[in-house]
Amino acid sequence: MSDPLVDIAWLLEHLQDPDVVVAEVCWTPAGSSRELYEQGHLPGAVFLDVDVDLAAPPGSGPGRHPIPSPPSFAATMGATGIRNTDLVVAYDRQGGSLAARLWWMLDVTGHRAAVLDGGLDAWTGVPETGAVGRKPASFEERPWPSRRVIDAEGVTRAIATRTAVVLDARVEERYRGEVEPIDPVGGHVPGALSAPWVDNLDPAGRFLPAAALRERFVRLGVREGKPVVCYCGSGVTSCHDVLALELAGLGEAMLYEGSWSDWCSDPKRPVARGPGSRGD
């Protein structure tokens, strides 16, 4: 199975497959995301927290959600009960914006993964409560591929040489610098285009058809064969744009790991505000 997006019908058919693991990816700005998960989740779903399980501690890498080291990520997956050969179906309660981070981490390291279209809202049955425990498993440690991850210096070169399209997955208000609820500086990377991850979804919270996604990104200047860099606030929701680009058949984008939280941490880096010059 190579489709990075599955619907609820597919999941219902394969929920009991021994090599399918359902994982809820959670994050809350305050309070306990585990408590939210235990109040109701998909049957058999394991719990993964963005801050704890899918990121290294702040300060150990660029931005607010640095990518964990390969040994740390492998240990987390194994402790959760995910085997090296399993197909992980990730979902969340926020339009796939969190689940896409787990999908990306697994996909770029050659593991099987997919996102459940519609997330928890797609489930019409009775949610399961409490925690789900799985037996610890063996999960192979693999390096993060350099061709899929880029740093601030690489982004600077890509924009200066116009060798890549750089997309900002945050909401437009944050891109324009009108509001900034998290980071100390508002605005965007000069030359980056606004591509909010929410615009990958229809009103029901499902991904747009591939043709519509393709049309959206082509309007922004994305072309097959031209590199694309995606960033957001901290490298989490930008994975949603990476996934949408793949669904659109436009290839594999690079992830700016530290994203805006890394970029704006250096006062020497330029900051742009306003609507931008292209793709508006």
* Residues annotated as catalytic (active site), given as ranges: 232
Beta strand ranges found along the chain (DSSP E) = 5-6, 20-26, 46-49, 87-91, 112-116, 149-150, 165-168, 193-194, 228-231, 254-256
* Cα(226)–Cα(175) distance, integer angstroms: 23
Query: Structure tokens of 88?
Result: 């992980």
DSSP character for 253?
P
Q: 92 and 123 in contact (C-beta within 8 Å)?
A: no
Amino acid at 94: Q
Counting beta carbons within 10 angstroms of the beta carbon of residue 124, is it exposed (0 to 12), middle (13 to 18) or buried (19 or more)? exposed
Instruction: Give DSSP secondary structure letters for 55-86.
Output: SPPTTSSSSSSPPPPHHHHHHHHHHHT--TTP
Query: Order of strands across the sheet with 165-168?
Result: 149-150, 254-256, 228-231, 165-168, 193-194
Q: 181 and 243 in contact (C-beta within 8 Å)?
A: no
* Cα(260)–Cα(241) distance, integer angstroms: 15
* Cα(90)–Cα(92) distance, integer angstroms: 7
